[in-house]
Amino acid sequence: MSAGASVAEQTRTETLFFQVTPAGAFYATLGQEPDNMRALLLQLLSADTPVPYVPSLMARLTGLTDEDAKSLLDKMQARSLIELVTAPYPVVTGSLERILPDLIAPLGEGKVLLSDEQGFALAQCGFSNEDSEALAGMAADLMALGERHKALVDNRLQLYGCSWALVNSVGQSELGFWIICVGREKFLLIIEGMPYLNRQPFVDLTSALIRRYLDH
């Protein structure tokens, strides 16, 4: 894939496409509070094919004026949430049951699990079936705990975090619980050891979940 570039750096004859970065996918699913950046990211991640960059389309997607839409795009590029590229990654398609194991496997060092907020394991890599069921139940409890104390964490402490981890003596995660928000649905990505959410499979995972569960 070509590196991201600003519009001014591209020739007029090249077709540019939006490419959501791992940081953009993380921001899009970090919470449920609406804002212009999250709304655009969710629309791009819900597309079945790469979305070409057209200024008029950008304004239509955001509901902003052309000037405000361009300003929003500039801010998102500056924060590395989105890139404009000539060769975007293809959209991963297929049933969730088939593609989820391959999407979550690269996100950890060997043991990764995806569960929903009801405590059901949707896909796993490296964990036994018994451990998967137990961890999915634990994840649901942690999600409920986070909801009960959301006002404290967000408003009073101003941490704006919704993920949890068991850490070692130097603060590194030994078992992390990363919440993925998709509309009214929430999922937990459970990773033993170092997480690798800065990889393209994380974008593909969030896109697959958004295309399946996001209410438009």
CA angle 113, 37, 85 (to 5 degrees): 80
Q: Within this chain, do residues 205 and 110 fall inside the same structural domain, yes or no? A: yes
Helix 36-45 to helix 66-78 angle (10° resolution) is 80
pLDDT of amino acid 7: 54
Q: Is residue 1 part of a domain?
A: no
Residue 155 identity (one-letter amino acid)? N
Question: pLDDT for 47-90, tens place per residue?
Answer: 999 999 988 888 888 888 889 999 999 999 999 999 999 999 99
Q: Within this chain, do residues 46 and 140 fall inside the same structural domain, yes or no? A: no
Q: Which residue's structure tokens are 């989105």?
A: 82
CA angle 75, 45, 161 (to 5 degrees): 65
Q: Within this chain, do residues 81 and 163 fall inside the same structural domain, yes or no? A: no
pLDDT of amino acid 172: 86
Question: pLDDT for 112-156, tens place per residue?
Answer: 999 999 999 999 999 999 999 999 999 999 888 877 777 777 677
pTM of the model: 0.87
Rounded to 10 degrees, the C-alpha dihedral 23/19/82/114 comes to: -20
Q: Within this chain, do residues 133 and 183 fall inside the same structural domain, yes or no? A: yes
Q: In angstroms, rounded to a whole number, what is the distance separating the alpha carbons of residues 95 and 205?
A: 12
Residues near 12 by beta carbon (within 8 Å), at least 6 away in sequence: none
Tell me how far CA of residue 150 lies from CA of 31, 69, 131, 147, in angstroms. Answer: 11, 31, 28, 5
- Domain range for 204 is 96-213
Joined together, the tokens standing for residue 39 give 């709304």
Q: Is residue 11's pLDDT more than 50?
A: no
Q: Any idea what the CATH number is for the domain that residue 180 is in?
A: 3.30.450.30
Rounded mean pLDDT of 20-38? 92
Q: Within this chain, do residues 103 and 189 fall inside the same structural domain, yes or no? A: yes
Total of domains in the chain: 2
